């Protein structure tokens, strides 16, 4: 199975850093974010190639240059210029590279987590759906909370882990390549949102499954400041990668 890392986002939440350096290159423990992701994906036997999709004509060139100078990744790496037409267009753009695959892993680069790819893949195959999305019901909050009884604070909870009423969708998917045909059937693929435009209608038909990561650590790496604020969480994740 091939793993596709989408690294072409503009990273607007990370400005001004991302005006000059792509989000994928946000430093974590002295190495770029994308390095940790690619190394983690390459550690699984079921992954035979990692494809990085980015704007290699622009800031994304920094990603390619980094891996050219750091060859410790043992699995094959392929760099493909993104289509500049949204997620839907990008996936169709990858059709040739995925032509011999029945399914593939899609990983948005701002997701950092020690997710068990093999376990998620086995779960996907067991469910026999067109797509499986990583989700979580537990979230560690960045701020403090208070337990209030009759208008009086009786206890403080510093950055608690809470159970969500709805499952939070993470940016990690296993997709059947039939999804590409569904995308192509749409009249326009520009700025198409994978979740809302493609997976939402399929969910009404029971074609989407959810892989719950439980209390496994996860962070949306949107900026260097987020990494600094959540240092303990980032450190815990890197130790498990």
Euclidean distance between CA atoms 19 and 23, whole angstroms = 9
CB 89 within 8 A of CB 113: no
Position 194 scores a pLDDT of 87
Euclidean distance between CA atoms 17 and 62, whole angstroms = 14
Euclidean distance between CA atoms 208 and 167, whole angstroms = 14
Q: What is the CATH number of domain 2-136+166-240?
A: 3.90.550.10
Strands 161-176 and 103-108: antiparallel
Strand partners, 35: none
Position 89 scores a pLDDT of 81
Q: How confident is the model at residue 114 (pLDDT cuts 50, 70, 90)?
A: very high
Q: Where are the domains of the chain?
A: 2-136+166-240
Euclidean distance between CA atoms 15 and 71, whole angstroms = 29
CB 192 within 8 A of CB 89: yes
Tokens of 123: 């779960």
pLDDT digits (tens, 9 = 90+) for 172-224: 999 999 999 998 887 666 677 888 889 999 999 999 999 999 999 999 999 99
Positive/negative CA dihedral, 219, 225, 230, 232: positive
| Closest-CA residue to 58 (of 82, 77, 36) | 82
């Amino acid at each position: 199975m091939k793993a596709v890392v989408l690294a072409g986002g503009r990273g607007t939440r990370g400005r001004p850093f991302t005006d000059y350096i792509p989000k994928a290159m946000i430093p974590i423990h002295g190495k770029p974010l994308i390095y940790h992701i690619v190394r983690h994906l390459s550690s699984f036997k079921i992954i035979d190639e990692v494809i990085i999709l980015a704007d290699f004509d622009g800031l994304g060139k920094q990603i390619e240059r980094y891996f050219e100078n750091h060859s410790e990744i043992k699995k094959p790496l392929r760099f493909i210029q993104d289509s500049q037409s949204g997620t839907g267009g990008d996936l169709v753009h990858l059709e040739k590279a995925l032509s011999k695959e029945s399914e593939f892993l899609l990983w948005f680069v701002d997701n950092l987590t020690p997710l068990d790819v093999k376990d998620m893949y086995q779960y996907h195959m067991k469910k026999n759906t067109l797509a499986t999305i990583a989700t979580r019901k537990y979230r560690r909050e960045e701020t403090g909370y208070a337990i209030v009884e009759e208008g009086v604070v009786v206890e403080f909870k510093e950055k608690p882990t809470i159970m969500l009423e709805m499952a939070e969708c993470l940016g990690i998917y296993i997709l059947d390549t039939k999804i590409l045909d569904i995308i192509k059937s749409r009249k326009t693929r520009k700025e198409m949102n994978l979740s809302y435009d493609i997976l939402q209608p399929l969910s009404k038909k029971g074609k989407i499954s959810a892989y719950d990561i439980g209390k496994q650590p996860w962070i949306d790496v949107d900026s260097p400041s987020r990494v600094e604020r959540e240092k303990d969480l980032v450190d815990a994740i890197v130790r498990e990668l």
